[in-house]
A and B are shown apart, each in its own frame.
Chain A
Amino acid sequence: MEYIFAVLTFTGITVIGVLGSYLVTGLTGLFSFGQAAFFSVGAYTSAMLVKNLDVPFLLAVPAAMAVGLLAGFLVGYPTVRLRRDYISLVTFGFGEAIIALLNNSANLTGGAMGLSGIPQYTNFAIVWGSVAVCLALAVGYKHSKYGRQCLALRADELAAKAMGINVNRIKLVTFLFAAAMTSYAGVLYAFYTTYVEPGAFGWIVSAEWIIIVFVGGINSLTGSVFATLLLTGLPEMLRFASEWRIAVYCVIVLLIINYRPIGIFGEFELTLKWLRQLGKKGVKAS
């Protein structure tokens, strides 16, 4: 039972990371292979502040997010001006550079051995509470001028500019939002597992998050959450298939991409209106 809670907690943390990828890649169409690096930034900053400098946890959290924002700005500002193909490369390079930096600052970060002995301040309730808040923020963002302009520039950047949309600015704002949110998830992670290492969040993890977003649905927050549960939570819980877990995951993804390219949920979103209509139909049937 406790194991299931642990898995669900990890899954919840992953959901927040995936939400970041939804914003940057799903909504805005930027293929960022460095999203997971913000996880590391948030995790390491907060862990080092608390462990090495005795900063109180509640101060370390916003500090970690601020560092995440700064990193996001340093990477994002040049990146949003680049062509589509190059964005993947630059964000990938950023991710690998972070890993290399962390590996090579052993005195500060513990180097390749990682940082351990972080006090455990976060738990299942805090994580899923955070998921709810982040989801609310993402929903608000999607149904606002920001979300619409993101989708517009994703669909046709030239036409978007012609409609008066400041494309570079919108891309940067979205990127920073995702960076802050993912850094926060990194903090949750560090203070749950009590141990972080540099290599855990490289470009493959960023790629996995992007894949989860697409499997869930090309424009569906509901899908992103559901797909995270399906592709991260479920395999972990079915531990017996551990060796083949990744292979099964890959096959599921390939099947969806080939036979249902819009993703499991497509553009559908779970809303109160839909649930109410479902309730009405149910009443009619009975």
Chain B
Amino acid sequence: MSRLEAKNLSKAFGGVQAIDDFSFSVGERQIVGIIGPNGAGKTTAFNLLTGVYPLDQGQVLLDDEQISGLPQYQITQKGLARTFQNIRLFKGLNVIENVMTAADPYSSYNLADVFLYSGRKRRRENEVRDMSRSFLTLVGLAGYEEEKPENLPYGLQRKLELARALASNPRVLLLDEPAAGLNPSEVQDFIRLIRTVHEKFALSVLVIEHRMEVIMTLCANIYVLNFGKLLASGTPSEIQNNSEVTTAYIGEEDEACLL
């Protein structure tokens, strides 16, 4: 049974066909990867899934329920969370507040509770704060709660984005190049973190990455995009041995190399 299913997604910007008839699915408790050369349309695919751009054609199903066409915030509330290729943390809020905002849409207290300083509000605030603190501890940011996100080193900012996405209680997690800009030991650390999160919350994860260590170690299934079209799909070893994929990334082998 697939948790997230995308059928025949198509999107054009003016004359450029960014995504052309792209279909994929992520099963329960599966980690799936999307790879491809720069400009292949990977982030566009994410943007289509999360409702940033409207679809030209195709549909997206989450647990068999259609989510394509819904406004962004509703798609997230249905259980699809994401991180961004260029980190987009909320400046003006500190670290723990960044995480809390993802849980806020689910808080049911209202204006009256706020104005009357009611117990219901206080209890929920404490609940959200504790929950956020536990997410921060999980990703390794314990002790940084009151810091400003822009003061964190790059690797920790990426972890904060992950903690924030988790706080929205997702069923499917979309990670857009989560290891970009990290040094090799940080990448290993992040791979461990994604595994931990994946197991602990029984999530389905869809990862866009360029770092092959991440994709090959984590993913059960990989989709290769090139110029907006699906080039190949399969297990890591199948993809590694696929000559078309190599050609797309690196180019054709010159005859002089065939010794």
Report the bound CA distance from A167 to B105 in whole Å: 10
Tell me whether B73 and A165 are in contact (CB under 8 A).
yes
Tell me whether A152 and B73 are in contact (CB under 8 A).
no
B: residues with CB less than 8 A from A are 50, 52, 71-73, 76-77, 81-82, 84, 88-93, 97-98, 100-102, 104-107, 109, 111, 114-115, 117, 121, 125, 128, 164-165, 168
With A162-B50, A164-B73 as contacts: A149 and B105 at CB distance below 8 Å = yes
Sample of 25 A–B contacts (CB below 8 Å): A141-B114, A144-B114, A145-B105, A149-B101, A151-B101, A154-B92, A155-B90, A156-B91, A158-B52, A158-B72, A158-B88, A159-B88, A159-B90, A160-B90, A162-B52, A162-B81, A163-B164, A163-B165, A164-B102, A164-B105, A164-B168, A165-B105, A173-B111, A219-B92, A267-B92
Q: Which B residues lie within 8 Å of A145 (CB)?
A: 104-105, 107, 109, 128
Candidates B71, B84, B97; contact of A159 at CB < 8 Å = B84
Tell me whether B73 and A148 are in contact (CB under 8 A).
no
Q: Which A residues lie within 8 Å of B114 (CB)?
A: 137, 140-141, 144, 146
Question: How many residues of A are in contact with the other chain, CB < 8 A?
Answer: 29
Q: Which A residues lie within 8 Å of B100 (CB)?
A: 148
The smallest C-beta distance from A168 to any residue of chain B, in angstroms, reads 9
The smallest C-beta distance from A219 to any residue of chain B, in angstroms, reads 6
Report the bound CA distance from A165 to B88 in whole Å: 15
Residues 148-185 of A contacting B (Cβ, < 8 Å): 148-149, 151-152, 154-156, 158-167, 173, 177
A: residues with CB less than 8 A from B are 137, 140-141, 143-146, 148-149, 151-152, 154-156, 158-167, 173, 177, 218-219, 267
Q: Which B residues lie within 8 Å of A141 (CB)?
A: 114-115
Q: Which of B71, B76, B90, B98 has the largest count of A CB atoms less than 10 A from its CB?
A: B90
